[in-house]
Structure formats: C-alpha cells, structure tokens
A and B are shown apart, each in its own frame.
Chain A
Amino acid sequence: GQQLNQSPQSMFIQEGEDVSMNCTSSSIFNTWLWYKQDPGEGPVLLIALYKAGELTSNGRLTAQFGITRKDSFLNISASIPSDVGIYFCAGYSNAGGTSYGKLTFGQGTILTVHP
C-alpha cells in the first residue's frame, strides 16, 4: 500500500532555531496536509496544499507541495516552546481506486524545544 516516509522521527532544538521536516512517497499525491498534535489532544490542521509547487505560509510555518507531487516539506522559523508536539504529514491520492479518498499519514516528527 501507499506509505509516507516522514523524517526526522524526532528533533531536539533550542528556542529560536528553525526547523525543517519532510515527507516522501513513491506514489503521487494530489493533496498534502500538515497537522500538529499536542499531548492529550487530536491532530489540528496547520496547512493544506493542493497544487504541485505550491508554497503556503501560516504565521511562522511554511509548507511546500513538491514539484514531483511525491513529497512535501514543512519549515518552522524561530521556534518557541509552544511549538512542542508531534507533526504529521498526510496526503490524498487517487491511486488504488478508493472512492472515499484514503488519507495516508506519515509516522510523525516529535519536536522538543528547549528554552
């Protein structure tokens, strides 16, 4: 089946540093999504990307839909302690003939920010 390879699995950074994480796949995706999950809560949508090459920002977060449609990147600038959490990439693909549009998730990147 389709898989999303998300890296890195975890990051330990100092407050103020920039963060980069990415997701790659062997399949083409038509939509890329980035979520953040805080401890004890559900995933919350950060950014949605719908076109190859699209670059979208949400405050200090910037995400890009790869030109090949097989990858996506998320950058966080000037990290702060509240950025701590698990970041998930997810994507919709039409491959496989699923009528409902299966959302495939990456395994997540655990971000720790030291003050």
Chain B
Amino acid sequence: NAGVTQTPKFRVLKTGQSMTLLCAQDMNHEYMYWYRQDPGMGLRLIHYSVGEGTTAKGEVPDGYNVSRLKKQNFLLGLESAAPSQTSVYFCASSDRYQPQHFGDGTRLSIL
C-alpha cells in the first residue's frame, strides 16, 4: 500500500545543475500536484496535472518544468538549479475535489 512515492528523498546540487524529481502514485488518481514547502510560507503549488499528457502552472512555476507521460507518474524538472530553489518538495495526488494524498517529500539543497 505505497500511496505516493517520491524519489530521491534527499539531494544536494550545485548552482546551474539540473535534476528530475520523480513522483509515482498507485491510487489511479487523475490529478497530480507538485508543491514546495518553505519555512513561514506554507505549501505553494508549483505545477499540476489533471490527467495523463496534461500539465498546468500553479502559483510558483518559474524555474521548473513538469511532464506526465503516464497516469501514475509526475516528473518535476529543474533545468538550471538556483539557491532560491532550496526547499522541501512534495508531490500529491487526488481525484477532483477529493482529499490530496502526499508523498514524504524530497529535501533539496542548492549550493
């Protein structure tokens, strides 16, 4: 009963490097989301997807790209990492207007 699985759990990058965060869900949810959580800022939506092959921008999309080639997977990419992207990243999934289920997060540090 995995739910939402995020990989990796931790990562340290140098400024300018690129990387991809992977999210996988086994609940057959249509909707998937990427959030970042920073101290004092709460959860902020980066990008979301309402179905396979679709993506859309959230509140703070700059510097990130996403892809949803398969219904169960949602990838978040950083093309050129910046120190301001140091954060904890959470993936979530749900059906429309239903509770979102979260993964355990990826802790990302950009030096």
Q: Is the interface of B mostly helix, strand, loop or mixed?
A: strand
State how many residues of chain B have any CB contact under 8 Å with chain A. Answer: 21
Q: Could you tell me which residues of chain A, from 16 to 59, have a CB within 8 Å of some CB in chain B?
A: 30-31, 33, 35, 40-45, 48
Q: Could you tell me which residues of chain A, from 96 to 115, have a CB within 8 Å of some CB in chain B?
A: 99-103, 105-108
Interface check B74, CB cutoff 8 A: no
**With A31-B97, A33-B99, A92-B97: A42-B105 Cβ-Cβ less than 8 Å:** yes
Interface check B34, CB cutoff 8 A: no
Cβ-defined contact, B102 with A42, below 8 A: yes
Chain B residues whose CB sits within 8 angstroms of the CB of A102 once the complex forms = 45
B35: nearest chain-A partner, CB-CB: A105
Cβ-defined contact, A105 with B31, below 8 A: no
Chain B residues whose CB sits within 8 angstroms of the CB of A42 once the complex forms = 4, 90, 92, 102-105
> Size band of the A side of the interface?
20 to 34
CB distance from B94 to the nearest CB of A (A): 8
Q: Could you tell me which residues of chain B, from 66 to 97, have a CB within 8 Å of some CB in chain A?
A: 90, 92, 96-97
Chain A residues whose CB sits within 8 angstroms of the CB of B100 once the complex forms = 33, 45, 90, 103
**With A99-B50, A108-B42: A45-B97 Cβ-Cβ less than 8 Å:** no
CB distance from B2 to the nearest CB of A (A): 13
- Kindly state the separation between the CA atoms of A59 and B7 in the bound complex, as whole angstroms: 32
Cβ-defined contact, A105 with B50, below 8 A: no
Interface residues of B (CB under 8 A from A): 4, 31, 33, 40, 42-43, 45, 48, 50, 56, 90, 92, 96-97, 99-105
Closest 5 CB pairs of A and B: A42-B102, A101-B97, A42-B104, A105-B43, A43-B102
Beyond A45-B99, A100-B50, 10 additional pairs, beta carbon < 8 A? A33-B99, A35-B102, A40-B105, A42-B90, A42-B92, A42-B102, A99-B50, A100-B96, A102-B45, A103-B100
